[in-house]
Amino acid sequence: MRHLIIILLSVLSLGAGADTIDTLQTLKTQADSAYLSEQYDAAISGYEQVLASGKSAEVMYNLGNAYYRKGKMGRAILCYERTLRLDPGNSDALHNLDMAISNTADKVQAERPFFFVSVYRWLSTRLSVDGWGTLGVICFGLFCITFILVRFTDNERVQAVSQTGRWIALGVAVVANVLALTQRQSITDRTGAIIMDARVKVGNTPSDKASESFTLHEGTRIEITDTTITDWAGIRLSDGREGWVRTSSLERI
């Protein structure tokens, strides 16, 4: 009897899971239809309901497009940034992000990084965390195969190719795993954020009475550097400027 109950519960849970998937797919289809009909409020509501059940780069990207059409650049930029966290190589999200940023008030000139830092950042966005992890596993497997070939074959040509190939495979495996760990850490840390208010005063101290260092506007990306003061966040812009803002005026990517 006990085993029968377990089996019935398993079947019911599978059925419930299938119903949930069908419901989410229906919601997405309805949201897509609303977007195509230029009913952007309905599309936003539908996409947000889908995302409440789990992350999806495709749905997040569509939500960003709906916000962009509504003229809500802060929300659109936030969604495009979140899309790129899930799918770093998404060229459509990158393009639309640039378009949305061009419609914001703040034109922040980023500090120019060193050449190798630029290359590293570019390389890290070519694949997702899972993509780099998979590549690392594959290359490590190739390293093991070529190692075996070097040890147990008498064919000189195979040995020569395997000798070179194993070190290349090992090198790529190490780089891939480092990039996967770096991306995973950036996703976990979530230090990036977007200003959501129309206009925000940035003070030199965490206080409403602090002197105003500069102002920021909706859609500007910042990095959170300090959260030790309740309701306040220490921030840094890509051009090096720093200050304090209320946490209610921003949303983490």
Q: What percent of the chain has pLDDT over 90?
A: 62
Sheet arrangement for strand 232-236: 212-217, 199-203, 242-246, 232-236, 221-226, 192-195, 250-252
Tokens of 153: 């074959």
Q: What is the pLDDT of residue 8?
A: 46
Q: What is the mean pLDDT of residues 1-30?
A: 65
Each residue of 46-105: pLDDT tens digit? 999 999 999 899 999 999 999 999 999 999 999 999 999 888 889 999 999 999 999 999
> Domain extents for the chain?
2-101, 115-189, 192-252
Asked whether 184 and 129 are in contact (CB, 8 A), the reply is yes
pLDDT in tens, 201-229: 999 999 999 999 999 999 999 999 999 99
**Separation of alpha carbons 235 and 201, rounded Å:** 12
- At 105-133, the pLDDT tens digits run 998 876 666 677 677 777 777 777 788 88
Q: Is the pTM of this model over 0.85?
A: no
What value does the mean pLDDT of the chain take?
88
Give, in words, the CATH class of 192-252. mainly beta
| CATH superfamily ID and name for 2-101 | Tetratricopeptide repeat domain (1.25.40.10)
pLDDT digits (tens, 9 = 90+) for 166-195: 899 999 999 998 888 877 776 667 799 999
